Chains A and B, each alone.
Chain A
Amino acid sequence: MPDSAYASSRTVDLAATAAARARIVLRAASAVALVVLAAVLTALPCARAVAPVGQVTAADTPNDPGRSIDVAWTLSPDDRLPDPGDSLALTVLAYRILRAGPGDSLVEAGTVLAGQASYRDSGVEDGVPTIYRVETVGSDSSLALSPPCAPAVARGQWFHGKKTVLLIFMLAFCGAVIGLIQQARRGRELYVRPIAGLAAVDEAIGRATEMGRPILFVPGLATAGDVATLAAYTMLSRVARKTAEYQTRVRVPCYDPMVMTIAQDVVKSAYLDAGYPEMYQKDDVFFVTQDQFSYVAAVNGLMIRERPATNFYIGKFYAESLILAETGNYAGSIQIAGTDEIVQIPFFVAACDYTLIGEELYAASAYLSREAPLLGTLKGQDWGKAAVVILVLAGTIAATLGWQGFVDFFATQ
């Protein structure tokens, strides 16, 4: 073989050997890389999708007007806080609640954050069977849909079960009041403790008559339907009748126009009952304004100009109570106040001669008239208070001893 041919042949052999060696190295490197990649993938937890929630249940919302279903589920096993340092752990971000009516496709009803296991759907139709499915949204954007729950039907309830104890108490209270009214009508003597503010009403009206000055009656700043205003009407009726008998004028500035219309009827009826219908002057019961401090300014002006001998503040009052009472004190009037606004009672106590505190305001009619039905109502109130005291003591003992059932029985929520 000539040297050139041998050299060429040897070169080819060397190249083939190098290529073979490179192939071997490449195969080895690929195998190592595959092993490393497999190890990495196995170590990464996001290799699987988020787990769905457990059993989903749906039921009509209790004690509601209707169109509402409560959906509940057990949390996804992945709904947990990740371990410290394990920021790549798969967790739950949120739950999407999906609903469908008969033959309808699923639509989203709402979304709640992770950790919540219930949802109130207030957008359903009454009487339509509705199914729900809960979709879990994972931190890696994976989704997992639960199986559908049994159909639920939304309905409005005709009785609020949680208010049963209130209904019982209300019926018992009304029954006691009606029973005591009947007893009073049959002639049973009912004792009423003396109330200084009410005992002073006649004296205050007599004072106004002697001084020849009018009486000012302020029925408060509430609407005509407020209980304090109802009590004010009762007191106004008594006062108006007395003023008619004593030939004294009574001025009634009103905050609410409906209160004005009713107060006009009250005063007119009282004057008619007293036998002095001609003494009634329509302008004595008048509307002022429905702005709080403008009303106060007007009444203050009335007090400063006309210097009434007696002021009655009976009804609901707010921040203006002390302004009224102090101005009346400055004008030299004897003042009798009564309000159900507890925050204003101290101001009236400080500035007025007599103050009816709390329910003394509502006792005025019974106290002044001594009519049997009204006294019976007053006794009913006292029985109600006694029942409340007993229940409060029993509840305190029950709560202290851990009798949660007794406490829960009186819960209204």
Chain B
Amino acid sequence: MKRELPRILTLVTGVFLALQYFVPHRASATVYETLMDWLIIVGIFAILLGIAGLVRLHSGKIRSRQTNWPFSIVLLAGLFGMIFLGFWGQDLGSPFVTAYFQVLNPVQATMFAMLAFYIASAAYRAFRGRTLLATILLLSAVIVMLGRVPLGELLWPPVTIGSLRIPGVGEISDWLVNVPNLAAKRAIFVGLGLGGAATALKVILGIEAPHLRG
């Protein structure tokens, strides 16, 4: 029963939610919204489990003086400090909001800013014309990058020779993004949609339930 009951619940709920999509009646929408509310409530309890696991993990590290255990103190101090400040007050100008905007936001922005340098290093490694496909990738990347900056239009503007018009890098870049690239994206979208539906079907029918084995 330990495995059968979850499978039955999954089957009933999965079939109901799949059919609910086709039923616009208010009764159906009400049940759907209730299920979504339950999901949020379960998620809140799951957060408590997550926090409990986090506290247990790091307090164990502090107790046993594992490598880098002082960072566990910083983590727990930040966790409980923000919880305490949050209970104290969440108005604009309160310590909680000040800590959020003066500490967390700049740190998040720093991580996001590093992305530019990571892109540069990944591009340096990946865009090497060793094979035909890699060369095409390299040229496409150069054209699209140039087409996105004003300098590209200066370096490669549209040129008209008699009745022949050679498009500029901006137009070629737009064509690359909007035609072959978009075609490939749509093809992947179709595959993803069908794959997702098949995966959901496998879980609903109980063909695949990795958390219910053993």
Shortest CB–CB separation between residue A270 and chain B, in angstroms?
Answer: 7
What 1/0 flags go to A249-269 for Cβ under 8 Å of B?
000001011101110011011
Q: Do the beta carbons of A374 and B25 come within 8 Å of each other? A: no
Within 8 A of B (CB), among A343-360: 345, 347, 349-351, 357-359
B212 lies within 8 A of chain A by Cβ: yes
Q: Do the beta carbons of A322 and B189 come within 8 Å of each other? A: no
Complex: A388 Cα to B57 Cα, angstroms: 49
Dominant secondary structure of chain B at its interface with chain A: helix
A119 lies within 8 A of chain B by Cβ: no
A157-B24 contact given A260-B49, A283-B57, A322-B118, CB 8 Å threshold:
yes
A130 lies within 8 A of chain B by Cβ: no
Dominant secondary structure of chain A at its interface with chain B: helix
A287 lies within 8 A of chain B by Cβ: yes
Q: Do the beta carbons of B199 and A227 come within 8 Å of each other? A: yes
Shortest CB–CB separation between residue B104 and chain A, in angstroms?
Answer: 7
Complex: A294 Cα to B26 Cα, angstroms: 41
B9 lies within 8 A of chain A by Cβ: no
Residue of B nearest to A274 (CB): B214
Q: Do the beta carbons of B114 and A323 come within 8 Å of each other? A: yes
Residue of B nearest to A378 (CB): B198
A388-B190 contact given A326-B118, A326-B121, A363-B195, CB 8 Å threshold:
yes
What 1/0 flags go to A286-312 for Cβ under 8 Å of B?
111011111011000000010000000
Complex: A160 Cα to B19 Cα, angstroms: 11
Q: Do the beta carbons of A362 and B196 come within 8 Å of each other? A: yes
What 1/0 flags go to A195-238 for Cβ under 8 Å of B?
00000000000000000000000000001010100110110110
Q: Do the beta carbons of B213 and A270 come within 8 Å of each other? A: yes
Q: Do the beta carbons of B122 and A347 come within 8 Å of each other? A: yes
Give every chain B residue within 8 A of A178 (Cβ-Cβ).
205
B202 lies within 8 A of chain A by Cβ: yes
Give every chain B residue within 8 A of A357 (Cβ-Cβ).
188
- Chain-A contact segment, one of B40-48, B145-153, B156-164, B167-175: B40-48
A385-B194 contact given A158-B23, A270-B210, CB 8 Å threshold:
yes
Range of interface residues on chain B? 35 or more
Partner of B210, one of A159, A233, A319: A233
- Chain-B contact segment, one of A58-66, A85-93, A143-151: A58-66
Shortest CB–CB separation between residue B169 and chain A, in angstroms?
Answer: 20
A373 lies within 8 A of chain B by Cβ: yes
Q: Do the beta carbons of A163 and B21 come within 8 Å of each other? A: yes
Within 8 A of B (CB), among A383-407: 384-385, 388
Partner of B194, one of A262, A359, A365: A359
What 1/0 flags go to A139-170 for Cβ under 8 Å of B?
00000000000000000111110010011001
Partner of A273, one of B47, B196, B214: B214
Give every chain B residue within 8 A of A349 (Cβ-Cβ).
126
What 1/0 flags go to B1-42 for Cβ under 8 Å of A?
000000000000000001001111111110000000001001
B51 lies within 8 A of chain A by Cβ: yes
A272 lies within 8 A of chain B by Cβ: yes
Partner of A362, one of B122, B195, B205: B195
Partner of B208, one of A234, A345, A350: A234
Residue of B nearest to A173 (CB): B197
What 1/0 flags go to B64-77 for Cβ under 8 Å of A?
00011000000000
A174 lies within 8 A of chain B by Cβ: yes
A381-B195 contact given A234-B210, A257-B47, A269-B211, CB 8 Å threshold:
yes
Give every chain B residue within 8 A of A273 (Cβ-Cβ).
213-214
Within 8 A of A (CB), among B170-190: 185, 188-190
By a beta-carbon cutoff of 8 Å, the part of chain B in contact with chain A is 18, 21-29, 39, 42-43, 46-51, 53-54, 57, 60, 67-68, 104, 107-108, 111-112, 114-115, 118-119, 121-123, 125-126, 185, 188-192, 194-203, 205, 207-208, 210-214
Which 6 A-B pairs rank lowest in CB-CB distance, beginning with the nearest? A257-B50, A287-B50, A359-B195, A272-B214, A362-B195, A269-B214
> What are 11 A-B contacts defined by CB distance under 8 Å?
A65-B24, A158-B28, A237-B213, A291-B108, A297-B107, A319-B115, A323-B111, A323-B115, A323-B118, A325-B122, A357-B188
